[in-house]
Amino acid sequence: MLYPTTLRLAVASRSGIYLISPRIPCTPLKSYTVVKSRCSSTSTEDVKTGHISAGPNEGILFFDNVFPLRLQKLLRIPFVAQEKLPPWLNHLIGPRGTGGDPEQIIQKASSKYNIRIKVSRTIPRIKEGGAYVKFSYDDATPVSEVEKVIRRYLEEENVKPWWSPIRKMRAGLVKGRPWLEDLFRFPTSRLKVEFIPSEPGAEAVEMSQEQLYAFFRPYGKLGDIQTQPPDSKIVPRYAYLDFATIPRATMAKNCMHGYLVTEAEGGGKKGTVLRLSYERKIKAHWIRDWLVNHPRIVIPLVAALVAGITVAIFDPIRTFFIKMHITRALHIGDNKFYKWIKGYATDIIPWHRKDDEDAGMEAVWDDRKANIEQIQTWLMETADTFIIVQGPRGTGKRELVINQALKDKKYKLIIDCKPIQDARGDGPTINATAAAVGYKPVFSWMNSMSGMIDMAAQGATGVKTGFSETLDSQLSKIFNNTATALRQIALESRRKDDKDAQLADDEWLEAHPERRPVVVVDNFLHKSHEGGIVYDKIAEWAARLTTANVAHVIFLTSDISFSKPLSKALPDRVFRQISLSDCSPEVAKRFVITHLDADDPESSSKEDEGTPKRRLSQTRPDLAELDSCIELLGGRLTDLEFLARRIKTGETPHKAVGEIIDQSASEILKMYIFGTDGGDSNSGRGWTTEQAWLLIKRLAKKGSLRYNEVLLDDTYKKGGEKVLRALEQAELISIVSNHTGRPSTIKPGKPVYHSAFKRLTQDKVLHARLDLAILADLTKTETEVIEKAEGELVRLAELYGKNGRPAKLAGRIEWLMDRVQRGQERVEGWEMEAKVLKKILEGEY
């Protein structure tokens, strides 16, 4: 067969083929060379109809891998053209520059295999990574043969663009009616196949899985075929095809869209049209929906993830900061260079002198040298038990342990329980505990937030998620990290060339008690009446440190009931205890004199002039009064230091002591007498005004009281021991135990309190007012006893009055009558005393 006898002359250029000559006679052709028209995008007709039409002896091929599929991410941007590439990008990945031009491939294939094909136009499909090629062929060459030839050429020549070195180009004959849409629908590996009637009023036939497999398997591996449920009312009917890859799905969609399934192929009498579209295999926001719809799984997983991140990331950081806090590696005052500069400057500056806080303490340390040496000896031994230093406030427990016994210890951790116990709420308590050991970063604010999240999750799911952490668990984390840091510090001094290098870590720590750091717990059981778990956690943690030979633990406390919480944590150990008391009069006098002489500008000036140095204690004649003043003041270090400061200002010792006693008396009135709310024992302080005044009045006379003697008093009949413990905790009194641990003696809380008690009892108006309150309380109590006895007599008279009094009840009735008589006599006596007291109140100011 011959082509038309006339053919236009074509001139090739880089951008296309241009027809420039009129009809020219032509001879018959044995082989066909492709003559193409200018490559174009979608024509005006295609834009209007959205379809490519093929007439007689015309066909359409779809080539994939012409453009990168990843370009669809760029095409998702609105107002970006989907029909053509920008000029700069076209030169880089365009088909002419990459060797993947479909027109060139068809030209070379037709020349190689001697078939006659004429390309009429090319339509790129950039978002699908391919292009349509419309061609014409002669009657001698069937269209299926054209498809085979092109596929054979692509396979033999291994045509690949430079940006796709693995995947080859593929081509397929378009059997349907392609739809050239430019919507924002992008390729996926899932196709939705809808079964459409071929004409209005006709009936479409739903294809089976076997039929769909036969139609679409040639385009690529199918992962799954999902047909519509039989009971579904959705029309048109549809099915889902899952391809292994997106390029296989794009090839099938572009080749089979609009394909008419004939009656012979199972499409019904009128035939069924296949309408294909891309379908998202993964539902939009499925991750978010799954997370929201499964809180019972998600919230515990999130909590576990947060805990894992905390352990993996923050715990090593926190342990590092705790080590820096203990070793003081980041503290500038312990830096060697800073110490050298400071020492050099101290030698140059002649007027540098000792701090007042340390003045006078040498006399105290000389008196307590045995206690200091005892603590140092205990620290060298391997016994895994607590060291307890107990004594009232102001006896110098902290200075004795830290500044004297541990002054040569390199690694020591000091934990002050006072700011921890004084904190209000979980967050401040966690912050105070973390600050005491150097634990950071600490996110205490997350504790309350996680608690709210846990509460909301529990309301939604009905079960606790465990996302929140209690104060107990937070404190456990802090102390566990601290224990880890202490263990690492203790093992840092171990060397491989030591004699006992073969020992395990635990054995080495047990064999070297001198290498263990020291933990000092100050103000232990401060405000213990308020309860809380802080002291229990500290005691348990300290027990773990001592039993594991990680560190020595020293407790400093002013509470004599320390053995109860510590024995609970370490029940099978005998504690090593030192009890500190007030200084003796001789040591107290030396303390005051040394404190005065430590800061004497006159003595230093006289020394500079060459005259003999005379200290302040030698120039002031009123210091002869110190003996009698210290007898009144006692040997409490804080009171002695206060006395020395007053004497420095120019006051005489007698006047200074008088001011201190008056100030103490005023504090007693405010804190223990007038501070109670209405005299109610349940006011929060644990005692009434009458109970406190009774002790003050009796201690002012005797100086000490028998413990059980006080409990026998009528004022202390109800909860007497609890009241005494509360007054001891408030430091109004101190309770002394005998050698077996039984409370035996009650003394003033501070030595100066004895003089303050005397000063208060000398106030006639105050004495009369508070004694009158005690008498009123006793009268009330005795009246209740009398009423109770009278009520019992009335009941007995009602039961046995008619038949006479039984002989066996005679003793009981006599006792009740005597009890009423004695009670009445006591009430009358108290009333007489009350009249005298009222006269004093009426006559005195």
CATH number at residue 247: 3.30.70.330
Residue at 62: amino acid letter:
F
Q: Extract the tokens encoding 18.
A: 């241009």
Whether 543 and 590 map to the same domain: the answer is: no
Whether 228 and 203 map to the same domain: the answer is: yes
Report the pLDDT value the prediction gives residue 446, as an integer from 0 to 100. Answer: 62
Whether 497 and 602 map to the same domain: the answer is: no
Report the pLDDT value the prediction gives residue 153, as an integer from 0 to 100. Answer: 92
Residue at 182: amino acid letter:
D
Distance CA 477, CA 483 (A): 10
Report the pLDDT value the prediction gives residue 17, as an integer from 0 to 100. Answer: 34
Distance CA 439, CA 324 (A): 10
Q: What is the DSSP string of 417-448?
A: HHHHHH--SHHHHHHHHHHHHT--S--THHHH
Whether 749 and 718 map to the same domain: the answer is: yes
Whether 567 and 598 map to the same domain: the answer is: no
Whether 83 and 164 map to the same domain: the answer is: yes
Asked, for residue 306, whether it belongs to a domain, the answer is no
**Taking Cα atoms as reference points, which of 123, 176, 119 lies closest to residue 146?**
119
Report the pLDDT value the prediction gives residue 333, as an integer from 0 to 100. Answer: 67
**CATH assignment of the domain containing 419:** 3.40.50
Answer yes or no: are the C-beta atoms of 668 and 732 closer than 8 Å.
yes
Residue at 556: amino acid letter:
L
Distance CA 758, CA 316 (A): 60
Report the pLDDT value the prediction gives residue 331, as an integer from 0 to 100. Answer: 72
Whether 417 and 491 map to the same domain: the answer is: yes
Report the pLDDT value the prediction gives residue 98, as an integer from 0 to 100. Answer: 72
Give the chain's domain count: 6
Asked, for residue 296, whether it belongs to a domain, the answer is no
Residue at 586: amino acid letter:
E
Report the pLDDT value the prediction gives residue 282, as an integer from 0 to 100. Answer: 66
Secondary structure class of 684 (helix, strand, coil):
coil
Answer yes or no: are the C-beta atoms of 806 and 726 closer than 8 Å.
no
Q: What are phi and psi of 4, to 5 degrees?
A: -55, 145
Whether 399 and 358 map to the same domain: the answer is: no
Report the pLDDT value the prediction gives residue 286, as an integer from 0 to 100. Answer: 75
Report the pLDDT value the prediction gives residue 447, as an integer from 0 to 100. Answer: 62
Whether 129 and 271 map to the same domain: the answer is: no
Q: Which residues of the chain have pLDDT under 70?
A: 1-49, 72-91, 94, 97, 282-284, 333-335, 338-339, 343-360, 444-469, 529-532, 599-619, 675-684, 801-805
Answer yes or no: are the C-beta atoms of 552 and 516 closer than 8 Å.
yes
Answer yes or no: are the C-beta atoms of 695 and 732 closer than 8 Å.
yes
Task: Provide the 8-state DSSP code for 205.
Answer: -
Q: Extract the tokens encoding 419.
A: 């700011």
Q: Classify residue 831 by burial, with Cβ atoms within 10 Å: 0-12, 13-18, 19+.
A: exposed
Question: Which stretches within 635-719 are classed as H helix?
Answer: 637-648, 653-668, 689-702, 707-711
**Chosen domain end from 143, 173, 203:** 173
Q: Convert 393-402 to b/e letters by CB count within 10 Å (16 or more is b).
A: ebbbbebbbb
**Domain containing 400: what range?**
314-353+384-579
Q: Extract the tokens encoding 298.
A: 């998600």
Asked, for residue 821, whether it belongs to a domain, the answer is yes
Report the pLDDT value the prediction gives residue 314, as an integer from 0 to 100. Answer: 83
Report the pLDDT value the prediction gives residue 616, as an integer from 0 to 100. Answer: 60
Whether 25 and 158 map to the same domain: the answer is: yes
Whether 596 and 676 map to the same domain: the answer is: no
Q: Classify residue 486 by burial, with Cβ atoms within 10 Å: 0-12, 13-18, 19+.
A: buried
Secondary structure class of 681 (helix, strand, coil):
coil
Asked, for residue 300, whether it belongs to a domain, the answer is no
Asked, for residue 771, whether it belongs to a domain, the answer is no
Task: Provide the 8-state DSSP code for 672.
Answer: I
The residues that bridge with 124 in the sheet, in sequence order, are: 131
Secondary structure class of 12 (helix, strand, coil):
strand
**Chosen domain end from 559, 579, 599:** 579
Angle between helices 471-492 and 534-547 in degrees, nearest 10 = 30
Asked, for residue 290, whether it belongs to a domain, the answer is no
List all residues 6 or more positions away from 93 whose beta carbon is below 8 Å from its beta carbon: 67, 68, 85, 161, 163
**CATH assignment of the domain containing 737:** 1.10.10.10
Q: Can you give 769-808 as a three-state secondary structure string?
A: HHHHHHHHHHHHHHHHHHHHHHHHHHHHHHHHCCCCCCHH
Looking only at the bridges linking them, the beta strands covering 552-557 and 518-522 are parallel
Asked, for residue 182, whether it belongs to a domain, the answer is no
Report the pLDDT value the prediction gives residue 457, as an integer from 0 to 100. Answer: 58
Answer yes or no: are the C-beta atoms of 513 and 572 closer than 8 Å.
no
Asked, for residue 302, whether it belongs to a domain, the answer is no
**Taking Cα atoms as reference points, which of 370, 688, 728 lies closest to residue 528?**
728
Whether 612 and 680 map to the same domain: the answer is: no
**Chosen domain end from 714, 733, 762:** 762
Report the pLDDT value the prediction gives residue 344, as an integer from 0 to 100. Answer: 64
Compute CA distances 375 → 381, 612, 783, whole Å.
Answer: 10, 41, 57
Answer yes or no: are the C-beta atoms of 742 and 786 closer than 8 Å.
no
